[in-house]
Amino acid sequence: MSAYMLLCNFTDQGVRTIKEVPKRRAAAQELGKKFGVDIKAGYLAIGAYDLIVHVESASDDAIAKFLLSLASRGNVRTTTVKVFSPEESDKIIAEVV
């Protein structure tokens, strides 16, 4: 499974309906399951991003489908960063020439 951090900002629509965030969170978790994307943790943030979400996915295709489906709902825009665990990082670094 690959890990990703979703750096999210609310759209105008997302802010207008902010009280629905708990319901939308549950809906996003169900949507993720449909694509094999596991939402590990989500955080309300202060600063450049409104939400930071840690997800895992079996493939880049699955995460792309999830993100497009999520975006089509109109409440958040995402920037996605693929991240590596310390073990994965050590393996990558060990193979640097």
What pLDDT is attached to residue 74?
96
Residue 26: how many other CB atoms lie within 10 Å: 10
Give the separation between CA 38 and CA 30, rounded to whole angstroms: 9
Residue 14, beta-bridge partner list: none
Instruction: Please state the pTM of the whole predicted model.
Output: 0.90
Tokens representing 37 are: 């994307």
CA distance 23 to 90: 39
H helices of the chain, where? Answer: 12-16, 21-35, 60-71, 86-94
pLDDT in tens, the chain (97 residues): 999 999 999 999 999 999 999 999 999 999 999 999 999 999 999 999 999 999 999 999 999 999 999 999 999 999 999 999 999 999 999 999 8
Structural domains of the chain, with CATH = 2-94 (3.30.70.920)
